[in-house]
Amino acid sequence: MFKIIRRILQVVLLIAIGAFGYWLWLHPEALKPAAKLYKEGEAKVKEVLTAEQEQKKIIGEVSGRVTRVYTGDAFQLTDATGVFNWRLSGIIAPEMPVQRTPGMERTAGDLSREFLASLVVSNSVRIAVLHSEGVQGSDGIAYIGTNNVNLAMVAAGMARLNERVAHVLPFDIRRLIEKAEMDARTAKLGIWAETPGATPSK
């Protein structure tokens, strides 16, 4: 008797499942809310994971005063522990002339260096470190207060995105720099002005 009842219940369950499946086939829109929630949840998880991965690109933070500027993307930072050379990550500025001759005009490299100096020299600078080699030289994103110096250099047309190493930048900052470069190009600012030899070397 028990076996018969169990068999009947199994048949009823199979019929119910089949009927529900047939109903869903006739009304696929019923699944849309669930599918939407699943996709939104999946996108949110990816967003959180991506943000965490991007944040891991920043390996530390240092602060100090800029005591010397070498080029439009490199400078010397002095803090309580010593003197260190830093490079602005993900961007590249025009090269400085190797030799100077009397009466030589200021180059794009000179202008870029002078602009960076006007932003950072004697100022307290905070650096989000992306790569460190100690006194040999390190790379990072420089800030004066909340102002991103890497971004400011590109926005002024004094440097451009270095596509070969742009992947080291957190994604949101890279997007901002890409946009700033497009705007500077359009406005023909700095190195994008129609001046011979004004483009940064690759």
Which residues does residue 92 pair with via DSSP β-bridges, in sequence order? 160
Query: Number of H helices and number of E strands within the chain?
Result: 5, 8
Specify the range with the lowest mean pLDDT, choosing from 13-22, 115-124, 145-154.
13-22
CB atoms inside a 10 Å sphere around CB 75: 25
**Is 50 exceeded by the pLDDT of residue 196?**
no
The per-residue pLDDT for range 135-178, each reduced to its tens digit, is 557 999 999 999 999 999 999 999 999 999 999 999 999 999 99
Which CATH fold topology does 60-97+105-192 show? OB fold (Dihydrolipoamide Acetyltransferase, E2P) (2.40.50)
- The domain locations on the chain are 2-55, 60-97+105-192
